[in-house]
A = this chain, B = another copy of it.
Amino acid sequence: MNPFAKKIADSVADLGEEKLIAAIRRWLGNASPRAPFGIGDDCAVLPPSRGPQLITVDPVIYGRHFDASIPPRAVGAKLLKRNLSDLAAMGGRPTAAVLALTLDSRTDLAWLERFYRGLAACARRYRVPIVGGDIAQADGILAASLTLLGTATGPRVVTRTGARLGDSIYVTGALGRSLPSGHHFKFSPRLAEGAWLARQPAVRAMMDVSDGLAKDLHALTPRGATPALDAATLPLRRDADLRAALTDGEDYELVFALSARADDTAFIRVWSRAFPRTRLTRIGHFARAGAMPPTALNLGTFSGYEHLR
């Protein structure tokens, strides 16, 4: 569905700002609390948080993260799910979201309604109140940026830092071909898995795979180490090859380091009991830099999605 209307009467310009905001509140329905706890005041009021909080921000932009081929409801859901995936990667759960929308005045009202209804359905599913937002107009643009606030689900927040030499590298799900397969908007953020992993002391560091494993793994790799991956073990999405799995990006899977002292067989067994439907794969370990096993993948020949190039 083309997000830009051919006729003014079908566009947001025909409605004007005040009626548009009223429409958005209707579309969001009970996914958006009443002011001052939701949209309608200078700020939204949020309850105190007992534990540490988490915050992240990610956008969807027309021509970059979606186009006319993606159903608008799925675009709205993708916006929230991208951010939920970041929260999952630290073992968090969501508490509130705010949305900044930038749109051309020719934006199709029917497209926008479906976008918001898709966002609202996803917000209800993951119990995230949409508490605030902003609408700005700019020519030729359709972009939405969502800031997600969350909290730790347990005593620990898992960061990207903490992996050690010798630690095993694990990844959830399958990798590659996220765009052609539609995974990039159909995926489920690994919130339950992330929360569970954050409770396992042997899980030392974690992140989500968004720019491609080859690039993202840098951030998880401890100093003096290099990721030694076994190509044969990499979980490939249907029709994906090694290069796709390592570089396509938008996988929204979790990659984490498991202590070398942990029992891998036992760990996979308890995982399978907790998440019988989420594949978990040991794909390698952190080897000493300069002492790569001869059979390990040379990641230097692969690079993930590089923005701005």
Contact = CB atoms under 8 A, between A and B. Distances in A.
A138 B54 contact: no
9 closest Cβ pairs, A-B complex: A147-B147, A17-B307, A43-B54, A42-B89, A100-B145, A46-B53, A42-B86, A43-B56, A36-B159
Interface stretch (A67-75, A129-137, A169-177): A129-137
Contacts of A141: 138, 141, 143
A300 interface: no
Contact of A44 (B41, B54, B160): B54
Contacts of A63: 138-139
Contacts of A306: 16-18
A3 interface: no
A56 to B, nearest CB: 4
Given A61-B102, A102-B59, A307 B135 contact: yes
Contact of A52 (B17, B46, B54, B139): B46
Contact of A100 (B43, B54, B57): B57
A277 interface: no
Nearest to A208: B42
A242 B258 CA distance: 68
11 contacts: A42-B56, A42-B89, A43-B86, A49-B53, A55-B98, A57-B147, A59-B134, A100-B100, A137-B308, A138-B143, A141-B143
A132 B61 contact: no
A57 B100 CA distance: 7
Contacts of A45: 52-54, 90, 157, 159
A158 to B, nearest CB: 9
A48 B46 contact: no
Contact of A56 (B13, B55, B64, B132): B132
Point out which of A49, A102, A135, A145 has the most chain B C-beta atoms below 10 A from its C-beta.
A145
Contacts of A15: 308
Contact of A136 (B42, B96, B131, B307): B307
A46 B49 CA distance: 10
A47 interface: yes
Nearest to A59: B136
A147 B59 CA distance: 13
Contact of A36 (B58, B131, B157): B157
Contacts of A100: 57-59, 100, 145, 147
A290 to B, nearest CB: 23
B160 A42 contact: yes
Contacts of A207: 41-42
Nearest to A211: B17
A134 B58 CA distance: 6
A289 interface: no
Interface string A153-182: 000010111000000000000000000000
